[in-house]
Structure 1
Amino acid sequence: MAEMQLDQAIRLFIDEKDYISSATLAGAAEEIFGSLLKREGIPNALDQLFANWSANGAPEIPSPEFRKALNNVRNQLKHAGDPAFDEMEVRNVDSMLLIARAAGMHPSFSDAPTQQLIRFREWWEKNAETLISTLPEID
Structure 2
Amino acid sequence: MANHSKKINLAKEQLEDAIELLINGRYISCLTLAGAAEEVFTTLVDIKLGKNPFNIIHELINHDLAVEGYQKISRGSFRKVRNRARNLVKHHDFGDEESVHINRQHQALATLGQAMISADLLDVKYKNKRKYNAWLKQNRDT
Aligned 1:85-96 pairs, distance under 5 A: 85-90=97-102, 91-96=104-109
Post-superposition offset of 1:72? 0.5
Query: Whole-Å Cα distance in 1 between the matches of residues 128 and 106 of structure 2?
Result: 18
Post-superposition offset of 1:12? 0.6
**Secondary structure in 2 matching 1:40:** helix
- Residue deviations 1:22-80 (CA, integer Å, cap 9, x gap): 10000000001112123336333322211111223253212211111011112223333
Say whether 1:102 aligns with 2:110.
no
Letter aligned with residue 48 of structure 2: E
Residue in 2 aligned with 1:70?
82
Letter aligned with residue 98 of structure 1: T
Query: Whole-Å Cα distance in 2 between the matches of residues 82 and 71 of structure 1?
Result: 19
Query: Whole-Å Cα distance in 1 between the matches of residues 93 and 46 of structure 2?
Result: 25
Deviates more, 1:45-54 or 1:23-32: 45-54
Letter aligned with residue 86 of structure 1: E
For the 8 Å contact 1:76–1:85, the answer to whether it is kept is no
Structure number, greater radius of gyration:
2
TM-score of the aligned structures, taking structure 1 as reference length: 0.78
**Secondary structure in 2 matching 1:115:** coil
Residue in 2 aligned with 1:117?
129
Identity %: 27
For structure 1, the 5+ residue unaligned runs are 132-139
Post-superposition offset of 1:126? 3.8
- Relative to structure 1, the CA distance from residue 124 to residue 39 in structure 2 (aligned partners, 3 Å threshold; closer, same or farther) is same
The one of 2, 11, 15 aligned to 1:6: 15
Letter aligned with residue 80 of structure 1: H
For the 8 Å contact 1:45–1:102, the answer to whether it is kept is no
CA RMSD of aligned residues (A): 2.2
Aligned residues: 128
Say whether 1:29 aligns with 2:37.
yes
TM-score of the aligned structures, taking structure 2 as reference length: 0.76
For structure 2, the 5+ residue unaligned runs are 1-9
